[in-house]
Chain A
């Protein structure tokens, strides 16, 4: 399978879940994907929600997604069309939430320092590599169990398939 190409949005260290998806929107029933996507990164980058295109990726520094356990901080990006978040490191609950909602989360500190916003990178899942400007960046392949959940599209579809 060939690698897929993605446009980069670039952010810094310690981006927390409050700026990814503000708490004031969290406790109402609506899960309308368009509404969730509209608030994505609202307090970090007001241009993101308007300009993001399906297939884009986010590249960020250390500790992406620290703070609240709110899952909308993952689903708002997925609904906005984000293919993957690539970061130097992830906060633990965010990482679990990403896998459980089928959003690819890749820890690869080496690529973070070299790429810029607007660049194009390629993701080669089969070989666990990122490609940019002719260079290759390996990332740790996901454990089998985790890959199964991700490939199913998240823990809910995974359990649906397992049960049927």
Chain B
């Protein structure tokens, strides 16, 4: 029977030959992700009689959500995570400053084509940009996974989105993603998988692809997936040469053996077609991600802060786009830039982007999630307005219920900081 890529991943991970939407299967994921919440998960795990982690080598833990710790309580939380990591011999542990879980696990080659990941983070849909199956779950389920190595999942229906054409200059994959979420709504893919295909994909740059799969979480998707092409294989080789020089060739061979593709005659619950050439810069307005308008329809909106970062748009291309806008300029509104990982920070530094940002008056922070979920490092005051390259603009998301958050692509965030109000770089005088 023909299967979508998602169905193939779940069939293999559950040891079934064939699965179909609606089946409940038990899978053994290759990787189980958690972050600062690992101490809380450990407390749940310790209530279980199992005592031993079933597959310690499958755990991946990153400290990223509140780094460096902004309070003694956060520091104690990190301390508890480190103690757990030591006691259970968790090898895949990444310290404060290494970066955001979703970015780091890709750079480290821990997740690749054909693999399955379940993570205690809603943006775990992210890894589909490398051709993996990945979904977000809750803390108790991760504790159960640590103990048993397995978890039940319902096989989702799959939405197919076929991309054609090419994005115009000044339009990014963030705009395409916001357009989709605005069109299909924040529950448009609830309980479903989203798979992207079509020639339009080949024109999407490396970093920009992860925006698509990452933000499908904002459409309610269980997972999102893109078939790996030469751009992805090339990046995997290049990045793993840096992070795991010793075994990168074996790892690459493993990914090549492991990769799964959708069958040409697979069944999809919905099929949408998008012409990239018709996309325009978009803005997600307070207080819902699917409250999306074309930037051209939004009037002059003064801002207090711009934020460029997060697992959605904190990569090298995003910082490069900001630097291009900011070269020779000065910001009127505060601009906070937080690279998604130490590798991104290093590369942005080497390319001279960081110097450009600092000369323009931006602040650069420790790689991690930053103020995205209101923990620290740039949270908003009552009444303040922020334009952000992140993924959520819910009321109170950045710490204050009376603040307002707009979401846009990184170049728009940078241009808006120069102007002091929301504006596209092309309209910056």
The interface of chain A, by Cβ under 8 A from chain B, is 14, 16, 18-19, 22-24, 26-31, 42-44, 62-63, 66-71, 74, 89, 91-93, 96-97, 100-101, 143, 145, 154-156, 159-160, 163-164
- Whether A93 pairs with B43 at a CB distance below 8 angstroms is no
A19-B394 contact in complex given A43-B401, A63-B186, C-beta closer than 8 Å? yes
A156-B187 contact in complex given A69-B120, A100-B141, C-beta closer than 8 Å? no
Binds A, one of B71-79, B170-178, B314-322: B71-79
Among candidates A14, A18, A96, residue contacting B141 with C-beta atoms closer than 8 Å: A96
Q: Which residues of A sit under 8 angstroms from B124, Cβ to Cβ?
A: 69
- Whether B138 pairs with A100 at a CB distance below 8 angstroms is yes
**4 closest cross-chain pairs (CB), A and B:** A23-B373, A43-B396, A97-B138, A28-B73
In the complex, A63 Cα to B181 Cα: how many Å? 14
Which secondary structure dominates where chain B touches chain A? loop
- Whether A160 pairs with B48 at a CB distance below 8 angstroms is yes
- Whether B24 pairs with A29 at a CB distance below 8 angstroms is no
In the complex, A145 Cα to B222 Cα: how many Å? 20
A145-B374 contact in complex given A14-B288, A27-B66, C-beta closer than 8 Å? no
Q: List 6 A-B contacts (CB under 8 A).
A: A92-B222, A97-B141, A155-B141, A155-B143, A156-B44, A156-B140
Q: A30-B73, A67-B122 are in contact. List 10 more A-B contacts (CB 8 A).
A: A16-B288, A19-B394, A23-B374, A29-B39, A63-B190, A91-B220, A93-B137, A100-B140, A155-B141, A163-B49
- Indicate whether B397 reaches chain A with its CB closer than 8 angstroms: yes
In the complex, A27 Cα to B40 Cα: how many Å? 8
Chain B interface residue bracket vs A: 35 or more
In the complex, A16 Cα to B49 Cα: how many Å? 34
In the complex, A27 Cα to B138 Cα: how many Å? 14
Among candidates A42, A69, A89, A92, residue contacting B121 with C-beta atoms closer than 8 Å: A69
Q: Which residues of B sit under 8 angstroms from A91, Cβ to Cβ?
A: 187, 190, 220
Interface Cβ pair total, 8 Å cutoff: 140
In the complex, A145 Cα to B144 Cα: how many Å? 15
- Whether A28 pairs with B186 at a CB distance below 8 angstroms is no
In the complex, A22 Cα to B140 Cα: how many Å? 19
Which secondary structure dominates where chain A touches chain B? loop
The interface bits of chain B over 79-95 (1 if a CB of A lies within 8 angstroms of the residue's CB, else 0) are 01000000000000000
- Indicate whether B147 reaches chain A with its CB closer than 8 angstroms: yes
Task: Name the distance in Å between A146's Cβ and chain B's nearest Cβ.
Answer: 9
Q: Which residues of B sit under 8 angstroms from A67, Cβ to Cβ?
A: 122, 392, 394
In the complex, A96 Cα to B191 Cα: how many Å? 11
A27-B399 contact in complex given A66-B220, A89-B190, C-beta closer than 8 Å? no
Task: Name the distance in Å between A94's Cβ and chain B's nearest Cβ.
Answer: 9
Q: Which residues of B sit under 8 angstroms from A160, Cβ to Cβ?
A: 47-49
- Whether A23 pairs with B397 at a CB distance below 8 angstroms is yes
In the complex, A74 Cα to B44 Cα: how many Å? 15
Q: Which residues of B sit under 8 angstroms from A159, Cβ to Cβ?
A: 48-50, 144, 147-148
> A69 — nearest CB in chain B belongs to which residue?
B122
- Whether B144 pairs with A28 at a CB distance below 8 angstroms is no
Q: Which residues of B sit under 8 angstroms from A63, Cβ to Cβ?
A: 186-187, 190, 220
- Indicate whether B65 reaches chain A with its CB closer than 8 angstroms: yes
Task: Name the distance in Å between A42's Cβ and chain B's nearest Cβ.
Answer: 8
Q: Which residues of B sit under 8 angstroms from A93, Cβ to Cβ?
A: 122, 136-138
In the complex, A143 Cα to B122 Cα: how many Å? 24
- Indicate whether B342 reaches chain A with its CB closer than 8 angstroms: no
Q: Which of B210-229 contact A (CB under 8 A)?
A: 220, 222
- Whether A18 pairs with B396 at a CB distance below 8 angstroms is yes
- Whether A29 pairs with B190 at a CB distance below 8 angstroms is no
Among candidates B36, B48, B222, B399, residue contacting A156 with C-beta atoms closer than 8 Å: B48
